[in-house]
Amino acid sequence: MAQEITVSMETDGRFARPARYALAMLGMIAGYRLRFVREGAVLHYGPLAREGSAWLPAAVAETQSRLLVKGALPLSPVDREAHARPFLSLFPVPDAAPLSSDIVAAAFFFLSLHEQWSSAARDRFDRFPASASLLGARGELVRPVIAEYASQLRAVLQSAGYDADNAKRYDGRNAAAVMTHDIDYLSKFTPGLLFREVVKNFLFNRRGVPAAARLQRLREYLAFAREDSDPYVLSVHRMLAIEEERGIRGSWLFKAGGRDKRDVSYRLEGARARRMLGLLEEKGHDVGLHPSFHAHTDAAMLGREQERLRVAVRDDLRSVRQHYLRFVYPETWRQQAAAGFFVDSTLGFAEEEGFRNGSCHPFLPWDLDRGEALPIWELPLTVMDGTLAQYRALSPEDACGRIDALLRIVDEARGVAVLLFHNTAFDAHDFPGWGDVFTHAADSIQRGGYYSGALPETVDAWIRSAGYGGTEEVMKVINSEPG
């Protein structure tokens, strides 16, 4: 059970709840459950120290108020070290040794996605690009800065005699790694892919290969019409077998509709889908929703797709990840929370692996428009096969090394790595070698001793380890006035 710490605050009035939110999230990472009080606190967050309390220095009220207004902030990012621990300082606080920086305001900046809220930068799929983010511009997307701030909080409390039992946060494991799979296709033998292979590749030789090679590829493709030779089906079976051998329970996210050309719809009522869903249920894996291309801003569409999949699996759905990682802040989170989802894992950059908002731990989203936390957990996506293969054009060997490096960073931060492999992994026809990457990642998870449950299980374990009974208790701490 996490140790309870009392906290008092002196902040700009409008920043009181955001500060409670950021401190609660940092406390969960540091291994403490916080309770906010007016007097006699163990920890004080404010511009001046308070006698009898450990001190977290706060930036001036003007800086705090700017965090609640849309627009670019006058940041002063610099690498600092306090308590023999490095961290990224954004809001310096002069003469507040040894921690001359407001780590609470900095954590709020990243957790609230203030830079996305304030920026008009978008890519061709209406996504906030990595290059427009502070960490992306600094070339530091693999830096878990939120964990750095939590480490400083832990050091301040340790210096006051309040140590946290933070070693085993995930049912006895130091860190967690979650395998997830977006099921964009149930079959490789679709009209679009048939046109690609027969017309573009065979007739027009788009790949620029000899006639014999074109004919051989076409023959291989036509064999995929049989379910028992379809690589998208075989990938599911092989990934499941590999995960089962290594004690991994994954999250499998299915589509349930779509009207865009980037949506490949399939019938959940069909025999192939029923067999696949039945197998996942039998193996005890999590089934969640992978909403269609436009559902990230269409609550009615999201609801229809959620209901279709719920009927197909005969159970409520807890997990969600948006197609193409499309995400509009804060609308997408609002829709997901209103629909009753427990955990989302959309928050990642398609073009680059790492920690999109500097977080490798579960957190509750903050809605800057409404000034409130939302009752859905975000477990950010760390790395996707498509990022490494298509966007970054890494070889399978280099991809394995990159995944191992990310796992090490997450392990050091006692965080969670979320890996996404589509059910194309063992399609040697188009993705040779990527089945080996998946197998390597599963082996690394097993060897590293990571907790390896599905998305909801991992968040549940995280909440328990922080001393909370559930989401409602965390929300109550954020929203409660000091006693």
Total count of domains within the chain = 2
Based on the fold, state whether residues 393 and 360 are members of the same structural domain: yes
Cα–Cα distance list, 347 to 76, 111, 384 (Å): 25, 11, 12
Based on the fold, state whether residues 303 and 435 are members of the same structural domain: yes
Kindly report the CA angle at 166 between 165 and 172, in degrees rounded to 5?
A: 100
Q: Which domain holds residue 255?
A: 176-189+224-465
Is 403 part of a structural domain of the chain? Answer: yes
The whole-number pLDDT of residue 483 equals 78
In this structure, the number of other CB atoms found within 10 A of the CB of residue 249 comes to 18
3-state secondary structure of 307: helix
Distance in angstroms (rounded) separating the CA atoms of residues 292 and 306: 11
Cβ atoms 136, 47 nearer than 8 A:
no
Based on the fold, state whether residues 127 and 185 are members of the same structural domain: no
The whole-number pLDDT of residue 167 equals 64
Based on the fold, state whether residues 119 and 233 are members of the same structural domain: no
Cα dihedral sign, 228-230-233-238: positive
Based on the fold, state whether residues 160 and 301 are members of the same structural domain: no
Is 21 part of a structural domain of the chain? Answer: yes
Predicted structure pTM score: 0.96
Based on the fold, state whether residues 122 and 270 are members of the same structural domain: no
Cβ atoms 144, 409 nearer than 8 A:
yes
Is 418 part of a structural domain of the chain? Answer: yes
Tokens representing residue 176 in the block: 């967690």
3-state secondary structure of 34: strand
Q: What is the CATH number of the domain that holds 405?
A: 3.20.20.370
**Could you tell me the mean pLDDT of each successive run of 10 residues in the chain, 483 residues long?**
90 93 97 95 96 96 95 94 96 92 98 97 97 97 98 96 82 95 93 89 91 91 90 96 97 94 90 95 96 97 98 96 98 98 98 98 98 98 98 98 98 97 95 97 98 98 93 96 85
Based on the fold, state whether residues 315 and 411 are members of the same structural domain: yes
The whole-number pLDDT of residue 66 equals 95
Distance in angstroms (rounded) separating the CA atoms of residues 439 and 391: 21
Cβ atoms 366, 114 nearer than 8 A:
no
Distance in angstroms (rounded) separating the CA atoms of residues 290 and 466: 29
Distance in angstroms (rounded) separating the CA atoms of residues 166 and 94: 31
Contacts of residue 30, Cβ cutoff 8 Å, sequence gap at least 6: 150, 151, 153, 154, 157, 164, 166
Based on the fold, state whether residues 133 and 180 are members of the same structural domain: no
Based on the fold, state whether residues 232 and 100 are members of the same structural domain: no
Based on the fold, state whether residues 154 and 242 are members of the same structural domain: no
The whole-number pLDDT of residue 106 equals 98
Based on the fold, state whether residues 443 and 474 are members of the same structural domain: no
Based on the fold, state whether residues 148 and 239 are members of the same structural domain: no
Distance in angstroms (rounded) separating the CA atoms of residues 476 and 453: 27
